Structure 1
Amino acid sequence: MSFNVLTACFTHESNTFNKRSAGYNAFTKYFVYFGDDAIKKLGHVNAELAGFCDCARDYGWKQTHVLSAAAEPAGVVTRDAFDRLGGAIINAAGVHKEKLDGILLAFQGAMVTEFCEDGEGELLERLRAVVGPDMPIAITLDPHSNVTQKMCELADIMVSYKTYPHVDMRETGRHAGAILYRTMKGEIRPRTLRAHRPLLSEVNGGRTDAGPMVERIAKAIAYEQEPGVLAVNINAGFAYADIREIGPTVTVTYDGNEDKHRAFAEEIADDIWKKRFDVINSYLSVEEAAKIAQAYARGTGPLIIADYADNPGAGAYGDSTNLLKAMIEAGIEDAAFGPMVDAETAKHLHGHTLGDRVQVQLGGKCDPSFGGGPLELEGEVCLISDGSYTCDGAMYGGMSFSWGKTAVLRVKGIDILVVSEPAQILDLQQFRAFGIDPAAKTVVGLKSMQHFRAAFEPIAGEVIVCDSGALTTPNCEKLAFRNVPRPIFPLDREMKI
């Protein structure tokens, strides 16, 4: 039996402390692909859509893909962007609803709009108003979702990635599609339950390569083999959204009796709470990181210094200068650093030719109170580029992006990647495409929390993590939360439940 399935991808991770909202142009700068164009671009890479397309081929579906749209994490999504992109999905559902058998959507799970805290819940509510309560809807989520009760009530099926770095996005799309297929055939009637604990986020941000999440994920995969269990999702939450339904959740999509599955979800949620002090990373100051770099003797590979706090992939501005300043003052040479998101300086450098000596005010322009103000520097222009690159790593291999106007500025032995558009470092080509080979350097400073590990740990001699004091600092007490329910950990460290 052939089924008609509507698919779409609409994702954004909204850092409500970021002053720059995500308008429609923010999505088009990253990617907005409609219909078959989206399938051509994303149907063969590590993306949920590729998993959706796998299911369409394997199960003989007629697939109607509406759009794939994403923007780099930033502030809240504007009403215009939400209505135009989300509205396209709603409109397509209305046009095709008489022929549809199911809907399959890829969400991030932490979208906040300028008019509501739960972007995904809002979109699902609008969708239900069009297709009714009986149409099976499956969604995929990033593990950094703030999963709301509304999302669980309005989506029949929920499947999250189980890896961070996220190397299983395509697999997750296939998983969700397989459950949807069984639902459309009438074999199962899935529902999703939710367990939650009062934390801003799982203490290690959901890291799955080390620490307590390794065992939790193993238990989740094992439990998915139990009768009636369709998907177990452990979502770390997203700490940089000042909303009411924030924090880590355990959800189970199941068929049949709830009680047993509820007990399992609560057990995992209890473990997240009990281990809330078990931090894996040692968050060094930038001065401590620079001192280690100063003494580093290159052996098997470079020293990788990850600036956790200025991660554009979690909505930081990417223009924090504190780590770069510490590296320069420590006299670090044979080094690379990036990205420094500074469109003004990138444009200025594009007015020069290779080899020019220039003076610039670099970085620190968005909010100097988070991560440091502009640096007065003199350096040599080593490269001018339009910023285009194609990833070749485990996460985004085959996908093309652009930093916008880009330049490489060499300052006292440090090659600085100066870009116009924010994105975290997660692929070696983000340096190599611009003449910098990170594997050949002694020290590499980069802006990322965890995703860099998939590409950079294999080339690294050592990896350290620092807190530059920028917008995604692990010290969340520095952020002005107003809407989260109190008490909540770690803002209220002595609280009990």
Structure 2
Amino acid sequence: MTFTVLTCEFMHESNTFSRYQTGLPQFQVDTLFHGDEAIRARRNANTELAGFMDVAEPAGWNVVHAISAHAVPGGQVTKAAYDHIAGTILEAARSNRLDGVLLGLHGSMVPDFCDDGEGYLLGLLRAELGGDIPIAVTLDLHAMVSEDMVRHAQIFVSYKTYPHVDMRETGAHAARILDRAMKGEIAPRTIRVHVPMLDEANSGRTDIPETRALYERARDAETGGLLAVSVNAGFTGADVSCVGATVLATYDSRDPGAEDAARQVTEDLADRIWQGRTKKRNVFIEVDEAAAEALSWRGDRPLVIADYADNPGAGAYGDATALLKGLLDAGVRGAVFAPMVDPQAARELHRSRQGETVTVTIGGKGDPDFGGGPLTVTGVLRKLSDGAYVGDGPIQGGLAHSFGPTAVIDVDGIEVLVVSEAQQMVDLQQLRAFGIEPTARKVLALKSMQHFRAAFEPIAGKVIVCDAGALATPRAERRRYSRAPRPLWPLDRDFERVPAA
């Protein structure tokens, strides 16, 4: 029998504290492909869609791919953008007789009209399809999983790596479960346990033993009637009713022991997350300490400074200036600072020619209270570009991206990559494409929390993490949460978690 399966990718991590919104142009800049165009663009890369197709093609599915839509994390998704993308998915559901649905979602999308973008979409699909069609969902490790999501879909599989390098593997895992469900071999259901924490203590970092053990436990449990176990670390940038870490277990409801096993493993993992709430491994240093270490660095390979709090990958503005100013004030040379997200400055620099000495005001436009205000600098314009590049690393390998109009300005020995479109640093081609060889630089100051490690840690002599006070600061108390459920660690500390019933 040939199964007809609706597939799509609709992903956004929404920072509700951002002053900006994410509209359709932001999806168009990053990823907005329809139908077969999406399959051509994403089939041979590390994407959920590639994983879907790895299963669909040998299984002989008739794949109806509606859309692949992804925007860089930022402010809430506008209703217009949401309705356009969700409408495309719903129209494909109405127009085809489906045997199953396979969705690549993020899990932390917040539109401007509700708290739970994924739960709302799944509710619309379920109303359209009725209760019998199996729906499988892949999620980012930093998903905030709501009760509505689990109510409307039967199958959930989340990434198990951070930096995220298992997108394709996750897509294939979900597709295999869906295939068995459509064949009638299994009857999947998913249970959810919420942990009253903004996020897991180490934000899901799988490069450290304590947190990696959670994902190893989840993977080891995936036997027999336990089809998928997912640990979702949560996302601190969203002030919504479903914020927090969760554990999911998708199980075969026909297996007599599977539901009890699912409840046991989810409760065990939730308790481990809670017991580890005070055991942070990241050491966040101040700007002056980071600048001093950069000045004294004598290693054979670059010192990498993660500008953690201004990570565009967490919805920060990417234009904070505090760390750059600290490096300049300390007299650091042979350094790179990337990116500085400032389309206005990029436009101004494009009015000059390469090799000219220019003066420009950069950064500080999103919110100078988070990470520093505008900084006026004078330097030599080294490179002008349209910002296009193709990644070749573990995360973006084979995928075409663009920073938009881009310039490199050398300010007293620090090459600043000024870009128009927000992206965090995850791939060496984000420097090499603009004439900067990262292995030949003394210091690399990168706006990223963790994903930079996949490509940049192998070339680094040392990595340090700086909290320069921008919007994604680990000091959660600097953000005003009003919709998040309370009590919630670490905003509240004098309470104990109640185990799931």
Q: TM-score, structure 1 length as denominator?
A: 0.98
- Contact 1:211–1:280 (Cα < 8 Å) also in 2: no
How many Å apart are 1:496 and its aligned residue? 2.4
1:395 partnered with 2:395:
yes
Find the residue that maps to 1:194 and give its secondary structure. Answer: strand
Task: Look up the match of 1:219.
Answer: 217
Q: 1:71-117: CA deviations, max 9, x gaps?
A: 11111111111111011101110110xx2110100000001011100
Task: Look up the match of 2:251.
Answer: 254
How many Å apart are 1:460 and its aligned residue? 0.3
- Contact 1:5–1:62 (Cα < 8 Å) also in 2: yes
Task: Look up the match of 2:270.
Answer: 269
1:68 partnered with 2:63:
no
Task: Look up the match of 2:442.
Answer: 442
Write the letter of the residue equivalent to 2:375. Answer: L
Task: Look up the match of 1:488.
Answer: 488
Task: Look up the match of 1:183.
Answer: 181
Task: Look up the match of 2:314.
Answer: 314
Write the letter of the residue equivalent to 1:383. Answer: K
How many Å apart are 1:209 and its aligned residue? 1.0
1:81 partnered with 2:78:
no
How many Å apart are 1:487 and its aligned residue? 1.6
- Contact 1:110–1:238 (Cα < 8 Å) also in 2: yes
Separation in 1, partners of 2:197, 2:456: 30
Separation in 1, partners of 2:21, 2:449: 22
Q: Any gaps of 5 or more consecutive residues in structure 1?
A: none
Separation in 2, partners of 1:87, 1:137: 17
Task: Look up the match of 1:294.
Answer: 295
Task: Look up the match of 1:230.
Answer: 227
Find the residue that maps to 1:258 and give its secondary structure. Answer: helix
Identity fraction in percent:
53
Separation in 2, partners of 1:94, 1:188: 26
Q: Any gaps of 5 or more consecutive residues in structure 2?
A: none
Q: 1:184-221: CA deviations, max 9, x gaps?
A: 00000000001111111111111111132211111111
Find the residue that maps to 2:95 and give its secondary structure. Answer: helix
Alignment of 1:38-49 (within 5 A): 38-49=38-49
Task: Look up the match of 1:245.
Answer: 242
Find the residue that maps to 1:279 and give its secondary structure. Answer: coil
- Contact 2:226–2:261 (Cα < 8 Å) also in 1: no
Q: 1:139-196: CA deviations, max 9, x gaps?
A: 0000100001111111110000111111110010000000000000000000000111
- Contact 2:303–2:443 (Cα < 8 Å) also in 1: yes
How many Å apart are 1:259 and its aligned residue? 2.1
Write the letter of the residue equivalent to 1:107. Answer: L
Separation in 2, partners of 1:427, 1:495: 41
Task: Look up the match of 2:167.
Answer: 169
Separation in 1, partners of 2:73, 2:198: 18
Separation in 2, partners of 1:376, 1:130: 55
Task: Look up the match of 1:285.
Answer: 286
How many Å apart are 1:25 and its aligned residue? 1.2
1:347 partnered with 2:344:
no
Q: TM-score, structure 2 length as denominator?
A: 0.97
Write the letter of the residue equivalent to 1:295. Answer: S
Alignment of 1:455-466 (within 5 A): 455-466=455-466
Separation in 1, partners of 2:493, 2:353: 54
Separation in 2, partners of 1:233, 1:200: 17
How many Å apart are 1:260 and its aligned residue? 2.4
How many Å apart are 1:298 and its aligned residue? 2.1
- Contact 1:197–1:248 (Cα < 8 Å) also in 2: yes
Task: Look up the match of 2:98.
Answer: 100
Write the letter of the residue equivalent to 2:100. Answer: G
- Contact 2:157–2:230 (Cα < 8 Å) also in 1: yes
Task: Look up the match of 2:410.
Answer: 410
Aligned length: 493
Separation in 2, partners of 1:487, 1:155: 28
Separation in 2, partners of 1:282, 1:101: 49
CA RMSD of aligned residues (A): 0.8
Q: Which runs of 4+ in 1 moved over 4 A?
A: none
Separation in 1, partners of 2:496, 2:324: 40
Task: Look up the match of 2:143.
Answer: 145
How many Å apart are 1:286 and its aligned residue? 1.0
Q: 1:108-140: CA deviations, max 9, x gaps?
A: 000101110000000000001111011000000
- Contact 1:359–1:377 (Cα < 8 Å) also in 2: yes
How many Å apart are 1:294 and its aligned residue? 1.1
- Contact 1:387–1:419 (Cα < 8 Å) also in 2: yes
